[in-house]
Amino acid sequence: MSAFICFDAVSKSYGDVKVIDGLNLDINRGEFVSLLGPSGSGKTTMLMMLAGFETPTGGKILVDGNRVDHLPPHARNMGVVFQSYALFPHMSIAENIAFPLKMRGLSKSEMATRVNKALDMVQLTAARARKPSQLSGGQQQRIALARALVFEPKVVLMDEPLGALDKQLREHMQLELRELHKSLGLTVVFVTHDQNEAITMSDRIAVFNAGKIEQIDTPQAIYSRPKTKFVAQFIGETNLMKGSVAGTDNGIATINLSNGSRVSGRATDVLKQGSEIVLSVRPEALTIGESTSHANSLPVVVEDLVFQGDHTRVHLDCHGTKLAARVSGPTHFFVVGQVTNVSFSPDACAVVSQ
Ligand code: ADP
Ligand code: MG
């Protein structure tokens, strides 16, 4: 079965500058997919092409098997939520929500029923007569969401919709959006530059870098099986160690680290003997101490201990390479200057090209 939303070799140039470069992306019906990447990587451009506010300069966009890339926005029937809520300031909350229905020529009674349902969904029935300026940022965001959902679109597109909210409200809204996605069976394409937000909310994450997708996978796979150095560094915290491939066997590569040690790790690509690589290992995968059962062990010196509440970050030096370990249990037996080992399992490492 083909995907519900399909970007087929889509490019977008402004003058001579190519901001999206022959990009393929399939999104399934009912899926929550995040476009995650640094500022300027092309996320908004992708969303605007899907919404119909921008036209691709190459390739095709299909929804449900039909080409949409030359249809105007209103003919695509997609709900769109922007970072700035873009509510109409002179209209009441109820009028704001009714606007897309008015544009579609629904009857007064049908409009009233749907507006009431949408207000109820975002729990703002009591605010229906107020103006947007009389609501908090979080409430305005919920109204923008209600307006995007009121005409029961097949697809909802959101561009950093929680970016302007403070941390607590943002986390609350993340959970609300997840619930709405599930209960309404929506297909959501969600743009964010916040990796935690993408990990929390998504079925799959597409990691963008300079107009290309570096990896598209589940949050778990993106975190524990990054396929490129960019993905390993962009998602979560990691330790990177340079080296070269001494050999591979059954997907496990033996690595000569440039600091002289030899370790093994899971190879994500086909890696040739002698190729220059980077080994990525997460702070929580490192065990500090003399004797552990992990296959990889490196000599280290403890440089600093930083208490973080629920864990302690232990800064280590391994022949000049700085490493960080995350320790959840007690740390009173570690002292600064202590010479010890750090060990980790080959399965906890990702070996990617340099
Ligand atoms: P993101 O949303 O990931 O931050 P954008 O999609 O907004 O990235 O932008 C991608 C690139 O395209 C940027 O380098 C940006 O400067 C450029 N760009 C976006 N819109 C235009 C435009 N209308 N004219 C020229 N360049 C643009
Ligand atoms: Mg953007």
Residue 102 phi, psi (nearest 5): -60, -45
Give residues whose Cβ lies within 5 Å of ion ligand 2: 44
Nearest ligand atom owner, CA of 40: 1
The pair of three-digit structure tokens given for residue 232, joined into one six-digit string: 């390993």
pLDDT in tens, 136-146: 888 898 899 89
How much is the pTM?
0.89
pLDDT in tens, 155-210: 999 999 888 778 888 888 898 889 889 988 999 999 999 999 999 999 999 999 99
Contact 19, 12 (CB under 8 A): yes
pLDDT grade for 8, boundaries at 50, 70 and 90: very high
pLDDT grade for 130, boundaries at 50, 70 and 90: very high
Reported as type and span, the H/E element at residue 331 is none
Q: What angle do CA 123, 132, 202 make, to 5 degrees?
A: 55
Measured from the Cα of 42, ligand 1's closest atom is 6
What is the residue type of 24?
N
Q: What is the mean pLDDT of residues 91-106?
A: 93
The pair of three-digit structure tokens given for residue 145, joined into one six-digit string: 């969401």
44 Cβ closer than 6 Å to some ligand 1 atom: yes
37 Cβ closer than 6 Å to some ligand 1 atom: yes
Cα separation, 188 vs 177, whole angstroms: 10
Query: So what's the pLDDT on residue 170?
Result: 85
Contact 146, 92 (CB under 8 A): no
pLDDT grade for 279, boundaries at 50, 70 and 90: very high
The pair of three-digit structure tokens given for residue 265, joined into one six-digit string: 């790790």
Pairing outcome for strands 321-327 and 239-249: unpaired
Given a cut of 70, whether residue 254 has pLDDT beyond it is yes
Given a cut of 80, whether residue 269 has pLDDT beyond it is no
Whole-number percent of the chain with pLDDT over 70: 98
Measured from the Cα of 39, ligand 1's closest atom is 4
Q: What three-state secondary structure class fits 82?
A: coil
Nearest ligand atom owner, CA of 46: 1
pLDDT grade for 7, boundaries at 50, 70 and 90: very high
pLDDT in tens, 44-95: 999 999 999 999 999 999 999 999 998 999 889 899 998 776 899 999 999 9
Given a cut of 70, whether residue 1 has pLDDT beyond it is no
Domains along the chain with CATH numbers:
5-226 (3.40.50.300), 237-353 (2.40.50.140)
The pair of three-digit structure tokens given for residue 320, joined into one six-digit string: 């000049």
Cα separation, 118 vs 353, whole angstroms: 49
Q: Cβ of 61: how many Cβ atoms within 10 Å?
A: 23
Q: CA 12 → CA 45, 48, 57, 304, 328, distances in Å? A: 8, 11, 5, 48, 46
